[in-house]
Chain A
Amino acid sequence: MAERLVIVGFGPVAARLIDELTPAIAAGTLRVSVVGAERDAAYNRVLVADVGVGRMDPEALALAEPAELAALGVDVRLGSRVVRVDRARQQVLLHDGGRLGYDRLVLATGARAVLPNLPGMNPDPAANALPAGVTALRTLQDAATVRSAVAARQRVVVLGGGILGLEAALALVDEGARVTVVHHGPHVLGRSIDAVGGAVLGATLRRRGIRLVLGARSTGLARTEEGAFAALILADGRHVPGDLLVLCCGVRPRIELAEGAGLPTAAGVLVDHGLQAHSDEHVFAVGDCAQVRCPDSGCDRCSTSRGPAGLIGPGWRQAEWLAARLVQLATAPNSPAPMPLPAETDGVILLKARGVDVATAGDAAAEPWDFADDVPDDETDQGAQCSGEPRHIPVCTHGVPPAPVEAPLQVALWADPEHGRYVKMTTRAGVLAGLVCVGMPRTAAELVLLFERGSELPADRSGLLRLDGPEQLLQGIGTPDSSADPEATVCRCAGISRGRIAAAVEQGCRSVADISRQTRAGTGCGGCHPQLKDIIEQHFAAVAA
Chain B
Amino acid sequence: MSESRRQAAAATGAGTDTHCPYCALQCAMTLTPATPLVEAPVEAPAAGARTIEVPGPAVPSAGAPAAAGTDLDVNGRSFPTNRGGLCRKGWTSPALLRSPERLTRPLLRGPDGVHRPVSWERALERIMTAVTEIRERAGADAIGVFGGGGLTNEKAYQLGKFARLALGTSRIDYNGRFCMSSAAAAGNRAFGVDRGLPFPVTDLDGAAAILLLGSNVADTMPPFVQHLQGARDAGGLIVVDPRRSATAAFTADGGGLHLQPVPGTDLVLLLGLAHVVLAENLADETYLNTRTTGFAGYRRSVASWWPERVQSITGVPAETLRSAARLLAKAARGSGCFILTGRGVEQHADGTDTATAAINLSLLLGLPGTAGSGYGTLTGQGNGQGGREHGQKADQLPGYRKITDPAARAHMAAVWGVPETLIPGPGLPAVELLKSLGRPGGIECLFVHGANIAVSAPDANSVVAGLRRLKLLVVCDFFLSETAAEADVVLPVTQWAEEEGTITNLEGRVLRRRAAVAAPPEVHSELWIMERLAAALRAPSSFSSDPETVFEELRLASAGGIADYSGMDYALLDSGAAAYWPYPAGSSGTPRLFAERFATPDGLAVLTPVAVGPEHRSRQSELFVGTSLALATGRLLEHYQSGTQTRRVPDLAAAAPVARLLLHPLTAAARGIADGDQVRVGNDRGEVHCRALLSTDIRPDTVFLPFHFPAGQNANRLTSAVTDPISGMPEFKTSAVTVEALPQPQDPVRSTAWQNASLSSVSAPSLHV
- B614 contacts A489, CB within 8 Å? no
Question: Counting CB contacts under 8 A, is A235 at the interface?
Answer: no
A303-333 residues at the B interface, CB under 8 angstroms: 312-313, 316-317, 320-321
Question: Which residues of B are found within 8 Å of A390, using beta-carbon distances?
Answer: none
Known: A476-B697, A492-B762. Contact between A526 and B300, CB under 8 A? Answer: no
User: Which residue of chain A has the shortest Cβ distance to B621 in the bound complex?
Assistant: A453
B76 with A523: CB separation less than 8 A: yes
Complex-state Cα separation, A301 to B695, whole angstroms: 41
B496 to chain A, nearest CB (A): 19
**B763 and A485 within 8 A (CB):** yes
Which of B536-544, B639-647, B721-729, B753-761 sits within the interface? B753-761
Asked whether A463 lies within 8 Å of B666 as measured between CB atoms, the reply is yes
> Least Cβ distance of A171 to chain B in Å?
11
Q: Does A354 contact B (CB under 8 A)?
A: yes
The minimal Cβ–Cβ distance linking A351 to chain B, given in whole angstroms, is 7
Min Cβ gap A455→B in Å is 6
The CA-CA distance from A524 to B25 in the complex, in Å, is 12
B-contact bits for A234-263, CB 8 A (1 contact / 0 none): 000000000000000000000000000000
- Shortest distance from the beta carbon of A427 to any chain B beta carbon, whole Å: 14
Chain B CB within 8 A of A480 CB: yes
CB distance from B494 to the nearest CB of A (A): 27
Mark out the residues of chain A between 469 and 503 whose CB falls within 8 Å of any chain B CB in the assembled complex. Answer: 471, 474-480, 482, 485, 487-490, 492-495, 497
Q: Which of B60-68, B85-93, B555-563 interfaces with chain A?
A: B85-93
Nearest-CB residue, chain A, relative to B655: A495
Write out, one digit per residue, whether chain A residues 156-167 have a CB within 8 A of any chain B CB (1) or not (0).
Answer: 000000000000
Whether the pair A489, B666 counts as a contact (CB closer than 8 A) is no
Residues of chain B within 8 A of A19, CB atoms compared: 611
Determine the residue in chain A with the shortest Cβ distance to B618: A342
List the A residue with the shortest CB-CB distance to B628.
Answer: A455
Q: Smallest Cβ distance from A516 to chain B, in angstroms?
A: 9
| B300 and A471 contact, CB distance less than 8 A | no
Residues in chain B near residue A68, CB distance under 8 A: 297
| B296 CB contacts on chain A under 8 angstroms | 65
B402 within 8 A of A: no
Q: Which chain A positions have C-beta within 8 A of B244?
A: 474
Could you tell me the distance in whole angstroms from the C-beta of A369 to the nearest C-beta in chain B? 26
Q: Counting chain B CB atoms within 10 Å of each CB, which of A57, A352, A453, A525 scores highest?
A: A525
Interface contact B91-A479, CB-CB below 8 Å: no
Confirm or deny: A441 has a beta carbon within 8 angstroms of a beta carbon on chain B: yes
B651 near A526 (CB under 8 angstroms)?
no
Shortest C-beta distance, B611 to chain A (Å), equals: 8
Q: Specify which chain B residues have a CB less than 8 angstroms from the CB of A63 in the assembled complex.
A: 300, 303-304
Chain B residues near A527 (CB, 8 Å)? 218, 225, 250
Which residue of chain A has its CB nearest to the CB of B74?
A520
- A383 beta carbon closer than 8 Å to chain B: no
Distance in Å: Cβ of A439 to nearest Cβ of chain B: 11
Is there contact, CB below 8 Å, between B695 and A487?
A: no
Q: At the interface with chain A, which of B134-142, B313-321, B336-344, B371-379?
A: B313-321
Nearest opposing residue in chain A for B614, CB measure: A320
- B262 proximity list for chain A (CB < 8 A): 449
Identify the closest chain B residue to A349 (Cβ). B308
Report which residue of B244, B250, B670 has the largest number of chain A beta carbons within 10 angstroms of its beta carbon: B670
* Chain A 448-476 near chain B by CB (<8 Å), digits 1 or 0: 11001101101110011000000100111
Give B664-678 as 1s and 0s: 1 = Cβ < 8 Å from A's Cβ atoms: 011101100000000
B766 contacts A by Cβ under 8 Å:
yes
Q: How far is the CB of A485 from chain B (nearest CB, A)?
A: 7
| A456 close to B218 (CB less than 8 A) | no
Q: How far is the CA of A62 from the CA of B296 in the complex (A)?
A: 9
Q: Is residue B306 contacting chain A, with contact meaning CB distance below 8 A?
A: yes
CB within 8 A of B300: which of A62, A464, A480? Answer: A62
Contact B669–A458 (Cβ < 8 Å):
yes
- A378 CB to closest chain B CB (Å) equals 28
Q: Which of A68, A350, A354 has the most CB of B within 10 A?
A: A350
Interface size class of A (residues with CB under 8 A): 35 or more
Q: State whether the Cβ of A543 lies closer than 8 Å to any Cβ in chain B.
A: no
Contact of B627 with A by CB under 8 A: yes
Residues of A near B651 (CB, < 8 A) are 495
**Which B residues are CB-close (under 8 A) to A449?**
262, 312, 315, 701
Q: Which residues of B contact A65 (CB under 8 A)?
A: 296-297, 300
- Complex Cα–Cα for A374 and B40 (A): 73
Contact status B87-A494, CB under 8 Å: yes
Q: In the complex, which residues of chain A have a beta carbon less than 8 angstroms from the beta carbon of B225?
A: 524-527
Query: Which stretch in B277-285, B431-439, B460-468, B567-575 binds the other chain?
Result: B277-285
* B119 at interface, CB cutoff 8 A: no
Q: Is the CB of B319 within 8 A of A479?
A: no
Q: How far is the CB of B583 from chain A (nearest CB, A)?
A: 30
**Chain B positions 649-672 with a Cβ under 8 Å from a chain A Cβ:** 651, 655, 665-667, 669-670
A348: CB under 8 A from chain B? yes
Interface string of A501-545 (1 = CB under 8 A from B): 000000000000000011010011111000000000000000000
Q: A458-B670, A476-B697 are in contact. Are A445 and B304 (CB under 8 A)?
A: no
Chain A residues in 8 Å Cβ range of B253: 471
CA distance A442 to B320 in the complex (A): 9
Q: In the complex, which of the residues A61, A458, A460, A471 contacts B303, with contact meaning CB atoms closer than 8 Å? A: A61
- Mask: chain B, 257-269; 1 = CB below 8 Å from A; 0 = not: 0000010000000
Which among B88, B299, B701 is the interface contact of A494 at CB below 8 angstroms?
B88
Q: CA A464 – CA B664 in complex, angstroms?
A: 12
CB-CB under 8 A from B223, the residues of chain A are: 493, 524-525
Q: Are A351 and B308 in contact (CB under 8 A)?
A: yes
Tell whether, in the assembled complex, residue A479 and residue B763 are in contact, meaning their CB atoms are under 8 Å apart: yes
Please pick, from B224, B317, B669, the residue contacting A459 in the complex, using a CB distance under 8 A: B669
In the assembled complex, the CB of B429 is this many whole angstroms from the nearest CB of chain A, namely: 24
Q: Does B252 contact A (CB under 8 A)?
A: yes
B742-767, CB under 8 A of A: which get 1 and which 0? Answer: 00000000000001101001111110
Which residue from chain A places its CB closest to the CB of B244 in the assembled complex?
A474
Chain A residues near B120: list those with CB within 8 A. Answer: none
Q: Give per-residue flags for B319-347: 1 if the beta carbon is below 8 A from chain A beta carbons, else 0.
A: 11010000000000000000000000000
Which of B3, B86, B279, B621 is the one whose CB lies under 8 Å from A524? B86
Q: Which of B308, B667, B701, B755 has the most CB of A within 10 A?
A: B308
Minimum C-beta distance from A166 to chain B (A): 13
With a CB–CB cut-off of 8 A, which chain B residues contact A474? 244, 696-697
Whether B246 lies near A492 (C-beta < 8 A) is: yes
What 1/0 mask marks residues of chain A from 66 to 100 whose CB sits below 8 Å from any chain B CB?
Answer: 00100000000000000000000000000000000
Cβ contacts B215-253/A at 8 Å (1 or 0 each):
000100011111001000000000000001010001011
Nearest 7 pairs of A and B residues by beta carbon: A441-B317, A525-B225, A458-B666, A482-B763, A350-B308, A493-B222, A524-B222
27 A-B residue pairs with CB within 8 Å = A59-B299, A60-B299, A62-B300, A62-B303, A63-B300, A350-B308, A352-B318, A445-B316, A459-B669, A463-B665, A463-B666, A477-B665, A485-B763, A488-B762, A489-B762, A489-B766, A492-B764, A493-B86, A493-B87, A494-B87, A495-B88, A517-B3, A520-B86, A523-B85, A524-B87, A525-B222, A526-B226
Interface residues of B (CB under 8 A from A): 3, 6, 76, 84-88, 91, 218, 222-226, 229, 244, 246, 250, 252-253, 262, 278-281, 296-297, 299-300, 303-304, 306-309, 311-312, 314-320, 322, 611, 614, 621, 624, 627, 637-638, 651, 655, 665-667, 669-670, 694-697, 700-701, 755-756, 758, 761-766
Chain A residues engaging chain B, CB cutoff 8 angstroms: 12, 19, 43-44, 46-47, 50, 55-57, 59-65, 68, 312-313, 316-317, 320-321, 348, 350-352, 354-355, 357, 441-442, 444-446, 448-449, 452-453, 455-456, 458-460, 463-464, 471, 474-480, 482, 485, 487-490, 492-495, 497, 517-518, 520, 523-527
Known pairs A458-B700, A517-B3, A525-B223 / 19 extra A-B pairs, C-beta < 8 Å: A62-B299, A65-B297, A65-B300, A321-B614, A444-B311, A445-B315, A445-B316, A449-B701, A455-B624, A464-B666, A471-B252, A479-B763, A489-B766, A495-B88, A495-B766, A523-B76, A524-B86, A525-B225, A527-B218
